[in-house]
Structure 1
Amino acid sequence: MRSVPALQRVDFFRAGLSLLEEQGSNSVTAVAVCERLEVTRGSFYHHFSNFDDYLVALLDYWSEFFTSSRRGLLEKEVDLGPRSDVFIELGGALPHNLENAMRAWATTNPIVREAVRRVDSTRLSYVEDSLRRAGCDPATATLYAHIATSAFIGLEARGLVGDQQLLRRVFEEIEWAVMTRIGASPPVRR
């Protein structure tokens, strides 16, 4: 008989996110996660005290993996143009069905709603920081950060984020508006 490696908490998170992305929020239950992993519920409760404990940890994992851990990639770029390119690359690489499923779940679950709000706030702060570094005053940076993140969320909800050309054009237009607003020369893009 071959030995099966012990499951880690991350395995339960990946299973839950996979269920959410494929089947929606009603599919994310302790039973379904255990069935996906082919383990007993006892294994689930060995790692989590109850489902809410799992849910909070799952949302923390989602936030860290798809948002917080990406900040280092932005820090490598100083200028707004290259930072915009990183935003486009990172945004395009997000699992959009999962992001949309998470937003749908947030409409019915207050724990998920708070986690999505925190993720949106973190992502907004990344954009605000980039705009302040480009020379925007705080109010202008906040305004354009809201415009950029709202545009991204809207494109994502409409299934258009995979269109890298459209995403790039939208962000270039926002970048042009920002640079014009602060009196700087908008970058010439190829």
Structure 2
Amino acid sequence: MATIVKREDYFDAALEILATNDHAGLKQARLCAHLEVTTGSFYNYFDSWGQFKDEFLQHWLDHQTLQLAAAARLEGSPIRRMWMLVDFACGLPHSAESAIRGWAHSDRAVHEVQIQVDEQRYAVVAEALTAVLGEGGEDEAERLARTLLYILVGYQQRLPLDTAASLRWSLEHLLQSLLARVGAETERPFPVPTER
């Protein structure tokens, strides 16, 4: 019996392959084998490997950055928003993102999307931190947002990749230090989500 897959299944499978085989292992044949489909099934959705790559990168940008940033921006409390952003960061597919970061060094299209991902992640964190710090805190908020992004990127580049608990500790430690300094409640306002 033929396996029926959706367009999104190809993107999810690509993330799984990147997580275990790095970007050099992401090939059409491996993708189809992973999904147990023929290359004909692939061509029902994509005209070429280039189209697949472009759509996969856009899917990654949309689902792992833009949608999460939009959800965070709906939270009215900047402190709760920061805790949400920590949770979102810890729930990312880090092994796959590490492979994408490596891929970005040799592929211009991947590089351009990687820049967008990092800029969007930085922006949503800087906005929340500016709200936490209040008027006059914009410069510090920008520096802290860059520091948090550096922690995430550095975590994703470490080999072998540590557990997400180590990333969570680093992000939460910095956030709690900031909240204590501005006299805000330092305890997280909701339970820690289950890590992948």
SS at match of 1:189: coil
Note the C-alpha offset of 1:137: 4.9
The answer to whether 1:33 aligns with 2:54 is no
Q: 2:165 aligns with which of 162, 165, 190?
A: 162
Task: Report which stretch shifted further, 77-86 or 13-22.
Answer: 77-86
Root-mean-square deviation (CA, aligned residues, Å) is: 2.2
SS at match of 1:162: helix
The answer to whether 1:144 aligns with 2:147 is no
Partners of 1:16 and 1:28 within 8 A in 2: yes
Instruction: Provide the identity percentage.
Output: 23
SS at match of 1:67: helix
Which ranges in structure 2 are unaligned for 5 or more consecutive residues?
A: 188-196
Aligned-partner Cα distance in 1 for 2:152–2:10: 29
Aligned-partner Cα distance in 1 for 2:60–2:17: 13
- Return structure 1 stretches of 4+ with deviation > 6 angstroms: none
Aligned-partner Cα distance in 1 for 2:62–2:165: 22
1:165-186 CA deviation, whole Å, 9 max, x = no partner? 333113333x35xx86xxxx33
1:54-111 CA deviation, whole Å, 9 max, x = no partner? 0010011111111112134313433333222112111111121111111111111111
Judging changes above 3 Å, is the alpha-carbon distance between structure 1 residues 104 and 78 closer, same or farther for their aligned structure 2 residues?
A: same
Aligned-partner Cα distance in 1 for 2:51–2:88: 29
The equivalent of 2:111 in structure 1 is 113
Partners of 2:104 and 2:111 within 8 A in 1: yes
Aligned-partner Cα distance in 2 for 1:100–1:14: 16
The equivalent of 2:121 in structure 1 is 123
Which ranges in structure 1 are unaligned for 5 or more consecutive residues?
A: none
1:93-143 CA deviation, whole Å, 9 max, x = no partner? 112111111111111111111111111111111012112323255444333
**RCO higher in structure (CA 8 A, sep ≥6):** 2
TM-score by length of 1: 0.83
Aligned-partner Cα distance in 2 for 1:189–1:26: 43
Judging changes above 3 Å, is the alpha-carbon distance between structure 1 residues 144 and 62 closer, same or farther for their aligned structure 2 residues?
A: same
TM-score by length of 2: 0.81
Q: Across the two proteins, how many residue pairs are aligned to each other?
A: 181
Aligned-partner Cα distance in 1 for 2:99–2:116: 16
Task: Report which stretch shifted further, 122-131 or 72-81.
Answer: 72-81
**Residue identity in the other structure for 1:89:** D
Aligned-partner Cα distance in 1 for 2:100–2:73: 27
